[in-house]
Amino acid sequence: MVSSISSLDRTDIAILRVLQAEGRISNVELSDRVHLSPPATLARVRRLEEEGYISGYAAMLNREKLGHDNLALIEIALELHQYERITEVLDQLVAMPEVLECYHVTGEYDYMIKVSTVNNRALDHFIAKRLIPLPGIARIHTSIVLKALKQTTELDLPEP
């Protein structure tokens, strides 16, 4: 189902704004914030989930506390131009647990991945033993993140 923000009313947007900032909020507290009854709020949340506006809920983990001190952005250029082969490579790439995000991009490279490893040695191993051996990789460019200045999953939604 294709949806757009124009099909949402002020209350739907208010619900989304609260949930993206506080995913663990109780339905009762959410209903107080958006000025609806708890059953009406729950019905709206379920509809927003069913229509795909809410794609899931997750805890945001502190990767450094969990020993993942290395974050890298890796650009990948493919030498392949056959759909089946590209799909095969991408399936392998996105299945790697080190890969947190993968984007098809414009420019000099075809894809950009965000990779988390415990240290530089683990990153080197990932690149040398897992990434480079993938068939059809023409070249890669790696940038190590020194400091994250902003990390958010919150979208800039209009004021309700």
**1-32 pLDDT tens trace:** 455 888 899 999 999 999 999 999 999 999 99
Distance, CA of 151 to CA of 40 (rounded, Å)? 32
| Structure confidence by residue, pLDDT tens digits, 35-60 | 999 999 999 999 999 999 999 999 99
Whether the predicted pLDDT of 160 surpasses 80: no
Question: How much is the average pLDDT of 90-113?
Answer: 96
**Do 91 and 102 touch, CB atoms closer than 8 A?**
no
**Do 102 and 134 touch, CB atoms closer than 8 A?**
no
Return the structure tokens found at 44. 């709206």
Look over the chain and give the mean of its residue pLDDT values, rounded to a whole number. Answer: 94
Question: Taking the model in full, what pTM does it have?
Answer: 0.86
**Do 160 and 16 touch, CB atoms closer than 8 A?**
no
| Structure confidence by residue, pLDDT tens digits, 60-69 | 999 999 999 9
Contacts of 29 (CB under 8 A, 6+ apart): none
Instruction: State residue 70's pLDDT score.
Output: 96
β-strand partners of 114: 73, 101
Whether the predicted pLDDT of 159 surpasses 90: no
Instruction: State residue 90's pLDDT score.
Output: 94
Instruction: State residue 2's pLDDT score.
Output: 54
Domains of the chain and CATH, by start: 8-50 (1.10.10.10), 70-144 (3.30.70.920)
| Structure confidence by residue, pLDDT tens digits, 69-97 | 999 999 999 997 788 889 999 999 999 99
